[in-house]
């Protein structure tokens, strides 16, 4: 991937990550916060809990892609 494409991809991922912080359904910042919400709701709001979990997974995947993109390539 060229340097320019990496820059474009990183910018787009950062925009999406920023959006997850402002969406209607809050994206938990940590697994512990997601678990605490799940425990506190006692089975109610399952749709909301599912959406939070999906968004949390989405954020984790995007953050992993950013880390990989920022890691210098090594020649094999």
Q: What is the residue-wise DSSP string for 2-14?
A: -HHHHHHHHHHHH
pLDDT category at 1 given cuts 50, 70, 90 is low
Q: What is the mean predicted confidence (pLDDT) over 7-32?
A: 86
User: Which pTM was predicted?
Assistant: 0.67
pLDDT category at 75 given cuts 50, 70, 90 is low
> What's the confidence (pLDDT) of residue 9?
86
Q: What is the mean predicted confidence (pLDDT) over 5-22?
A: 86
Residue 68: pLDDT above 70?
Answer: yes
Residue 43: pLDDT above 80?
Answer: no
* Other C-beta atoms lying within 10 Å of the C-beta of residue 27: 21
């Amino acid at each position: 991937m060229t340097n320019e494409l990496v820059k474009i991809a990183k910018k787009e991922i950062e925009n999406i990550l920023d959006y997850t912080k402002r969406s209607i359904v809050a994206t938990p910042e940590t697994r512990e916060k997601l678990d605490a919400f799940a425990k506190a709701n006692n089975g109610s709001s399952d749709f909301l809990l599912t959406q939070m979990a999906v968004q949390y997974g989405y954020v984790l995947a995007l953050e992993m892609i950013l880390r990989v993109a920022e890691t210098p390539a090594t020649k094999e």
